[in-house]
């Protein structure tokens, strides 16, 4: 692990975490009023944007416990929003993918989440939002290498 870079206070991580919590809370409130949940939104969003994946990778990508993801997938499978199948190369693994119905459900949730993001980010000018997004993408890209 590298030593801390001068000029980057530990508080930066706390600010990112607090901002994430605020975004989640506002979006969750809006989705709950529509009878949905952030967990469903995140799972369907990951499957819609990222394509089929294993349950384990889905849990990692959504930062949820694998057992919780499994239970949520049971519900989503019963409602026809996802389908699971055995991996052809490793029968122990399950591959999960969003169905057309699940993708439509995700699409219906997006405006509510977007409105929540708009509300939370309203203190930033449009150019500042773009800059923030680019910087966060750069951080994530650097950590993926």
Structure confidence by residue, pLDDT tens digits, 42-86: 999 999 999 999 999 999 999 899 999 999 999 999 999 999 999
pTM (global) more than 0.85: no
Range from 19-23, 74-78, 86-90, 124-128 carrying the lowest mean pLDDT: 86-90
Per-residue pLDDT, 145: 66
**Torsion, Cα of 83, 88, 90, 93 (10° steps):** 0
| Cβ neighbours of residue 4 closer than 8 Å, sequence gap 6 or more | 10
- Quick check: 40 pLDDT over 70? yes
Cα 53 to Cα 14, 32, 38, 109, 128, distances in angstroms: 31, 27, 19, 21, 34
Cα 115 to Cα 28, 31, 52, 89, 91, distances in angstroms: 12, 11, 28, 41, 41
All structural domains of the chain = 18-144 (1.10.10.10)
Place of tokens 């952030």: 38
């Amino acid at each position: 692990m590298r030593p801390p870079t001068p000029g980057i206070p530990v508080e930066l991580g706390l600010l990112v975490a607090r901002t994430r919590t605020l975004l989640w809370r506002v979006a969750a409130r809006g989705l709950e009023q529509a009878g949905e949940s952030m967990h469903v939104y995140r799972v369907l969003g990951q499957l819609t944007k990222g394509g089929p994946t294993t349950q384990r990778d889905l849990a990692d990508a959504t930062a949820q416990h694998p057992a919780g993801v499994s239970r949520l997938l049971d519900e989503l499978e019963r409602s026809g929003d996802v389908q699971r199948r055995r991996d052809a190369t490793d029968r122990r693994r399950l591959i999960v993918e969003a169905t057309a119905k699940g993708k439509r459900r995700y699409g219906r949730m997006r405006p509510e989440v977007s409105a929540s993001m708009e509300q939370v980010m309203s203190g930033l000018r449009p150019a500042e939002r773009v800059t923030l997004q680019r910087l966060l993408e750069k951080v994530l890209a650097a950590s993926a290498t």
